Amino acid sequence: MALAGKLVSEVKINVAAEKYYKIWKDEVSRVPKICPKYIQKVEVHEGDWDCHGHGSVKIWHYSIDGKAGFFKERVEFDDKNMAMLLIGLDGDMFEHYKSFKATYKVVPKGPNHCLAVMILKYEKLRADCPSPYKYIDLMNGLTKSIESYLQ
Protein backbone atom coordinates (compact mmCIF):
# COMPACT_ATOMS: atom_id res chain seq x y z
CA MET A 1 0.00 0.00 0.00
CA ALA A 2 1.33 3.44 -0.96
CA LEU A 3 2.10 5.78 1.89
CA ALA A 4 2.23 8.94 -0.22
CA GLY A 5 -1.00 10.43 -1.46
CA LYS A 6 -2.75 13.43 -2.91
CA LEU A 7 -6.30 14.73 -2.46
CA VAL A 8 -7.77 17.37 -4.76
CA SER A 9 -10.95 19.39 -4.38
CA GLU A 10 -12.39 22.07 -6.64
CA VAL A 11 -15.04 24.51 -5.43
CA LYS A 12 -16.78 27.03 -7.68
CA ILE A 13 -17.29 30.31 -5.86
CA ASN A 14 -19.11 33.49 -6.81
CA VAL A 15 -16.33 35.91 -5.98
CA ALA A 16 -13.72 37.60 -8.16
CA ALA A 17 -10.50 35.59 -8.07
CA GLU A 18 -8.44 38.62 -7.00
CA LYS A 19 -10.70 39.30 -3.99
CA TYR A 20 -10.49 35.69 -2.81
CA TYR A 21 -6.71 35.52 -3.26
CA LYS A 22 -6.27 38.86 -1.45
CA ILE A 23 -7.78 37.39 1.74
CA TRP A 24 -5.11 34.67 1.80
CA LYS A 25 -2.26 36.92 0.66
CA ASP A 26 -2.86 40.20 2.51
CA GLU A 27 -5.64 39.71 5.05
CA VAL A 28 -5.07 36.27 6.58
CA SER A 29 -5.24 37.75 10.09
CA ARG A 30 -8.99 38.25 9.43
CA VAL A 31 -9.70 34.56 8.71
CA PRO A 32 -10.61 33.69 12.35
CA LYS A 33 -13.31 36.39 12.29
CA ILE A 34 -14.52 35.30 8.85
CA CYS A 35 -14.45 31.55 9.63
CA PRO A 36 -14.81 31.14 13.43
CA LYS A 37 -16.43 27.72 13.00
CA TYR A 38 -13.14 26.41 11.59
CA ILE A 39 -10.33 28.76 12.67
CA GLN A 40 -10.08 30.16 16.18
CA LYS A 41 -6.73 31.94 15.92
CA VAL A 42 -3.76 32.56 13.61
CA GLU A 43 -0.42 33.59 15.06
CA VAL A 44 2.71 34.74 13.27
CA HIS A 45 5.63 32.69 14.52
CA GLU A 46 8.27 34.11 12.12
CA GLY A 47 7.99 37.07 9.76
CA ASP A 48 5.11 39.50 10.05
CA TRP A 49 1.72 40.35 8.63
CA ASP A 50 3.03 43.33 6.65
CA CYS A 51 5.39 41.47 4.29
CA HIS A 52 2.38 39.86 2.60
CA GLY A 53 3.24 36.65 4.37
CA HIS A 54 5.69 35.17 1.83
CA GLY A 55 8.03 32.88 3.72
CA SER A 56 6.41 33.65 7.05
CA VAL A 57 5.64 30.91 9.55
CA LYS A 58 2.16 30.89 11.05
CA ILE A 59 0.38 28.73 13.58
CA TRP A 60 -3.29 28.03 12.82
CA HIS A 61 -5.57 26.96 15.67
CA TYR A 62 -8.60 25.16 14.26
CA SER A 63 -11.45 22.80 15.09
CA ILE A 64 -12.33 19.61 13.24
CA ASP A 65 -15.02 17.21 14.43
CA GLY A 66 -15.32 19.18 17.66
CA LYS A 67 -11.62 18.73 18.46
CA ALA A 68 -9.05 21.50 18.69
CA GLY A 69 -5.90 21.20 16.64
CA PHE A 70 -3.04 23.30 15.34
CA PHE A 71 -1.02 23.53 12.15
CA LYS A 72 2.33 25.29 11.98
CA GLU A 73 3.21 26.15 8.39
CA ARG A 74 5.52 28.13 6.18
CA VAL A 75 3.74 29.83 3.30
CA GLU A 76 5.00 30.47 -0.23
CA PHE A 77 3.03 32.61 -2.69
CA ASP A 78 2.94 32.48 -6.47
CA ASP A 79 1.17 35.73 -7.39
CA LYS A 80 1.32 35.09 -11.15
CA ASN A 81 -0.75 31.90 -10.73
CA MET A 82 -2.69 33.09 -7.65
CA ALA A 83 -1.48 30.09 -5.69
CA MET A 84 -0.14 29.53 -2.21
CA LEU A 85 1.70 26.56 -0.78
CA LEU A 86 1.45 25.79 2.93
CA ILE A 87 4.31 23.55 4.02
CA GLY A 88 3.53 21.75 7.26
CA LEU A 89 6.19 22.08 9.96
CA ASP A 90 4.35 20.87 13.07
CA GLY A 91 0.85 20.08 14.26
CA ASP A 92 -1.43 17.31 15.37
CA MET A 93 -1.59 15.84 11.84
CA PHE A 94 2.02 14.78 12.24
CA GLU A 95 0.76 12.00 14.52
CA HIS A 96 -0.25 10.30 11.25
CA TYR A 97 1.81 11.95 8.52
CA LYS A 98 5.51 12.29 7.80
CA SER A 99 4.91 15.22 5.44
CA PHE A 100 1.90 17.46 4.84
CA LYS A 101 1.59 20.20 2.20
CA ALA A 102 -1.53 22.12 1.22
CA THR A 103 -1.95 24.22 -1.92
CA TYR A 104 -4.69 26.74 -2.65
CA LYS A 105 -4.92 27.84 -6.28
CA VAL A 106 -7.44 30.39 -7.56
CA VAL A 107 -8.54 30.09 -11.18
CA PRO A 108 -10.50 33.06 -12.61
CA LYS A 109 -13.72 32.04 -14.40
CA GLY A 110 -15.26 35.45 -15.03
CA PRO A 111 -15.48 38.89 -13.42
CA ASN A 112 -17.22 37.59 -10.29
CA HIS A 113 -16.53 33.87 -10.41
CA CYS A 114 -13.56 31.64 -9.78
CA LEU A 115 -12.56 28.11 -9.02
CA ALA A 116 -10.77 27.42 -5.75
CA VAL A 117 -8.57 24.36 -6.15
CA MET A 118 -7.29 22.75 -2.96
CA ILE A 119 -4.59 20.09 -3.07
CA LEU A 120 -3.23 18.10 -0.15
CA LYS A 121 -0.02 16.13 -0.62
CA TYR A 122 0.97 13.90 2.24
CA GLU A 123 2.98 10.90 3.28
CA LYS A 124 1.59 8.62 5.96
CA LEU A 125 3.78 7.38 8.78
CA ARG A 126 2.23 3.90 8.53
CA ALA A 127 -0.13 2.11 6.14
CA ASP A 128 -2.90 2.04 8.77
CA CYS A 129 -2.97 5.85 9.16
CA PRO A 130 -6.13 7.52 7.81
CA SER A 131 -6.20 9.54 4.62
CA PRO A 132 -6.59 13.27 5.44
CA TYR A 133 -10.15 13.72 4.17
CA LYS A 134 -11.08 15.82 7.20
CA TYR A 135 -8.43 18.38 6.28
CA ILE A 136 -9.65 18.77 2.69
CA ASP A 137 -13.17 19.18 4.16
CA LEU A 138 -11.77 21.93 6.41
CA MET A 139 -10.23 23.67 3.37
CA ASN A 140 -13.55 23.44 1.51
CA GLY A 141 -15.40 24.89 4.53
CA LEU A 142 -12.96 27.80 4.73
CA THR A 143 -13.47 28.49 1.04
CA LYS A 144 -17.26 28.60 1.33
CA SER A 145 -17.10 30.79 4.46
CA ILE A 146 -14.80 33.27 2.73
CA GLU A 147 -17.10 33.27 -0.31
CA SER A 148 -20.08 34.16 1.93
CA TYR A 149 -18.09 36.92 3.62
CA LEU A 150 -16.97 38.47 0.31
CA GLN A 151 -20.40 38.50 -1.35
Whether the pLDDT of residue 53 is over 90: the answer is: no
Buried b or exposed e, range 68-91, using 16+ CB within 10 angstroms: ebebbbbbebeeeebbbbbebeeb
| Cβ-based neighbour number of residue 110 at 10 Å | 9
Q: How far is CA 21 from CA 127, 128, 144, in A?
A: 35, 36, 13
Domains in the chain, CATH or no CATH each: 4-150 (3.30.530.20)
Average pLDDT over residues 21-40: 94
Question: Is 86 a residue whose pLDDT tops 60?
Answer: yes
Nearest to 44 by CA among 1, 6, 74, 14: 74
* Predicted confidence band of residue 54 (pLDDT cuts 50, 70, 90): low
Question: pLDDT value at position 50?
Answer: 52
Residue (of 6, 9, 20) closest to 131 by Cα position: 6
Percent of the chain past pLDDT 70, that is, above it, reads 94
Among 78, 82, 62, residue whose Cα is nearest residue 142:
62
pTM higher than 0.85 for the full model? yes
18 DSSP 8-state letter? H
